[in-house]
């Protein structure tokens, strides 16, 4: 089985946005492990290069470039370069995302800027990324688009999470990401291009560290807890499989949806969350 999975994406080429750290890095590493050539993009060129170097050091092929998913010309240029480097693009993983406009650790209420930034990156950024690759995939009449959403886009959870209203625009943006996945899947199906989403649950990433710090700042009962202790308690309380997910867990789901094994799956949003939300 391990040998089979190592060849799951052999001969495929992929672009992953926001792949310099966290979930995006985990996705890029798993795709490379399973045989794909990976074009690593991130707003931060240094972290993109670091992920690409890690892939190459493990014997894979990777190219890195800085790109901004909120700028259609920037992400289009990255996709064009990926096609030039690899000769084609089979897989696009639209992962780049933000949780707020900054200052989450201390804020309780969202701001207009939180709405604007989460929409530009988490919603319009997905559309810009798809627009950068869709014509190429349509012309080849094959391709896989995988959007990274969140189980936070599934159902309201604000008060139960013990975090302020700052996070609400993020959750709304992730609900929009799931709807975008459904709509794009309908548009692309006639071109033999599948479009699916992965909805991560609770991962110890810089994003969740901010959430835990926000919980501590707003809850006197948590003042003596570290962000990691708050995170671990949240996982244990809310997930039937009482352990956090990892970036590689999300990468394995993305790799499956990018593979030929998922040829008949489109328009779906797959929770990878230890059972925290079951729908």
Per-residue confidence (pLDDT) for residue 242, from 0 to 100: 85
Give the residue-averaged pLDDT of 255-268. Answer: 98
Task: Say how far apart CA 106 and CA 96 lie, in whole Å.
Answer: 23
User: What's this model's pTM, rounded to 2 decimal places?
Assistant: 0.92
Give the residue-averaged pLDDT of 30-59. Answer: 98
Give the residue-averaged pLDDT of 208-235. Answer: 86
Task: Say how far apart CA 61 and CA 214 lie, in whole Å.
Answer: 39
- Max mean pLDDT among 168-172, 183-187, 212-216 falls in 183-187
Give the residue-averaged pLDDT of 54-81. Answer: 98
> What is each CA distance from 8 to 2, 11, 121, 142, 161, in whole angstroms?
10, 9, 30, 16, 37
Q: Residue 150: what are its φ and ψ, rounded to 5°?
A: -170, 145
The pLDDT mean for the chain works out to 92
Per-residue confidence (pLDDT) for residue 1, from 0 to 100: 46
Copy the structure tokens of residue 89: 């693009």
Q: Is the alpha carbon torsion for 239, 244, 247, 253 positive or negative?
A: negative
pLDDT tens sequence across 69-94: 999 999 999 999 999 999 999 999 99
Task: Domains for the chain: give ranges and CATH numbers.
Answer: 2-202+245-272 (3.40.50.720)
Q: Is the pLDDT of residue 52 over 80?
A: yes
- Could you give the angle at which helices 247-258 and 22-33 cross, rounded to 10 degrees? 50
Q: Is the pLDDT of residue 8 over 90?
A: yes
First to last CA, the chain: 29
Task: Say how far apart CA 4 and CA 148 lie, in whole Å.
Answer: 25
Segment among 32-46, 74-88, 102-116, 242-256 with least mean pLDDT? 102-116
What is the percent of the chain with per-residue pLDDT over 90, rounded to a whole number? 73
Give the residue-averaged pLDDT of 17-31. Answer: 97
Per-residue confidence (pLDDT) for residue 80, from 0 to 100: 98
Q: Is the pLDDT of residue 177 over 80?
A: yes
Element (H, E) at 14: strand 13-16
Nearest to 268 by CA among 204, 199, 212: 199
Q: Is the pLDDT of residue 103 over 90?
A: no
Per-residue confidence (pLDDT) for residue 157, from 0 to 100: 61
Per-residue confidence (pLDDT) for residue 164, from 0 to 100: 65
Per-residue confidence (pLDDT) for residue 45, from 0 to 100: 97
Task: Say how far apart CA 246 and CA 125 lie, in whole Å.
Answer: 23
Return the active site residues: 170
């Amino acid at each position: 089985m391990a040998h089979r999975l190592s060849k799951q994406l052999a001969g495929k080429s992929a672009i992953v946005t926001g792949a310099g750290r966290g979930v995006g890095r985990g996705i890029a590493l798993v795709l490379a492990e399973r045989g794909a050539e990976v074009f690593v993009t991130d707003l931060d060129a240094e972290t993109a290069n670091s992920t690409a170097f890690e892939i190459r050091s493990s014997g894979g092929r990777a190219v890195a470039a800085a790109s901004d998913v909120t700028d259609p010309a920037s992400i289009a240029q990255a996709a064009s370069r990926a096609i030039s480097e690899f000769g084609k693009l089979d897989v696009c993983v639209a992962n780049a995302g933000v949780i707020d406009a900054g200052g989450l650790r201390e804020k309780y209420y969202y701001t207009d800027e939180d709405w604007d930034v989460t929409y530009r990156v988490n919603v319009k950024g997905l559309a810009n990324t798809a627009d950068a690759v869709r014509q190429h995939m349509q012309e080849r009449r094959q391709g896989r688009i995988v959007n990274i959403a969140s189980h936070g886009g599934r159902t309201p959870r604000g008060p139960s999470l013990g975090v302020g209203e700052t996070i609400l625009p993020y959750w709304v943006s992730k609900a929009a990401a799931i709807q975008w996945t459904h709509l794009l899947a309908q548009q692309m199906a006639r071109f033999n291009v599948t479009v699916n989403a992965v909805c991560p649950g609770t991962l110890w990433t810089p994003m969740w560290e901010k959430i835990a710090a926000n919980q501590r700042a707003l809850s006197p009962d948590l003042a003596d807890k570290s962000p990691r202790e708050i995170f671990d308690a949240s996982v244990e309380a809310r997930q039937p499989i009482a352990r956090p997910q990892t970036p590689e867990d999300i990468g394995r789901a993305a790799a499956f949806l990018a593979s030929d094994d998922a040829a008949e799956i489109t328009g779906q949003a797959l929770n990878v969350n230890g059972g925290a939300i079951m729908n």
